Amino acid sequence: MRLLIDARVIQDHFPGIGRYAFNLIDALAPLLPGDLLVLTARHARNTRYDLARLARHPNLTRIPTDIPIFHPHSQTALPGLMRDLRPDLIHFLYNVRPLRVPAPSLLTLYDVIPRRFPQYYPRLTRFKIEAIQRLAIRSSRGFLAISHATAADFTELYGISPERITVTPLAPDPVFRPRPPEVLAAFRQRLGLPDAYLLYLGSNKPHKNLPRLVRAWRAAMDAGLDAEARLVITGHWDERYPQAKELARSLGIEDSVRFLGPVSGDDLPLLYAAARAFIFPSQYEGFGLPALEAMASGTAVGASRAPGLSEVVGEAAITFDPASIPEMTQVILQLMGDAGLRARLRDAGLARAAQFTWQRTAELTLDAYRRV
């Protein structure tokens, strides 16, 4: 098999998809009976992933290209480049893909957020997203879905036959693991974080539900939460959605809620492991990788009962209705105040996270390649 993977998503613009792409390729190369050609973006900002590390795989050839994902040349110049590479199969990791390519292709499916939450998108934006998604589906022979919930969504909303979809769950990177107490204490001191902080990691897009999280934090403070505790919100910040910051100010708790923005790849594992607990209040997730990374770090997790997220955490997290501020408040109080509960969730979370490996994801992916 001569496989080509369009991995131009390995860049800072795609933090979650980029992590999936890098780890999948790294785990897949030793299993692949043939050549693995990997397209990467030559000039895209990439501070997270060491692409040179992939060179240790003798069957892997990295092909840097100047063709950006969101440029018309992806439709014109990229097919020619692919034709010159003579692949037997092409795997696209993002739905912005050429419509015509010189070999059968697969597409990874992540979520249907614009269809489930159309109120969060302008009409023209929804139209463009829908057109791109439908064209990508029409141009693909097979599909990989990151969860059973995602597979079911695409079957329901886009009519993809379940037999054409292979579920390939994500997995935590090995860098996410428990750390010694003295290392975590030094990290908290360096960032000026208290011993007791509740962590959220992700974007601030509307479906992530951050305004309700801020309101629940205020309610927990009113219910007797330790005054020294902090809610730490980190990840990519989109200035189009300032509601959580504005709400923290209007509720008078801006000193109790810290917005860190994106953190470095080196600090991220420590940020997870040093937290007293992790919370993920999202209304919808295709998978919910941050919750799994927190579990792998030995941190107790509270998660919403969004289908894809519930599929990931199983019984290893304390859960709540993402629409219920009282339920979320109660979970915050339990996570921050009950050491026995945290210890039980830590053990359950580590066991749960160990069930997800990139080796297994790569094996399932290779099975899908063979079928196509």
DSSP 17-28: HHHHHHHHHHHH
The predicted-structure confidence for 16-26, as pLDDT tens digits, reads as follows 899 999 999 99
Classify 181-353 by CATH class: alpha beta
Instruction: Give the domain ranges of the chain.
Output: 2-171+357-371, 181-353
The predicted-structure confidence for 190-235, as pLDDT tens digits, reads as follows 999 999 999 999 999 999 999 999 999 999 999 999 999 999 999 9
Tell me the whole-structure pTM to 2 decimals.
Answer: 0.94
Residue 102: name the closest of 79, 123, 126 by CA: 79
The answer to whether 347 touches 316, Cβ cutoff 8 Å, is no
Pick the CATH number of 2-171+357-371 from 3.30.70.260, 3.50.50.60, 3.40.50.2000, 3.20.10.10: 3.40.50.2000
Fold identical between 2-171+357-371 and 181-353?
yes
The answer to whether 278 touches 303, Cβ cutoff 8 Å, is no
pLDDT at 25: 98
The predicted-structure confidence for 260-305, as pLDDT tens digits, reads as follows 998 988 999 999 999 999 999 999 999 999 999 999 999 999 999 9
d(CA 331, CA 275): 15
- C-alpha distances in angstroms, 276 versus 125, 330, 337, 353? 39, 16, 10, 18
Predicted confidence (pLDDT) at residue 47 exceeds the cutoff of 90: no
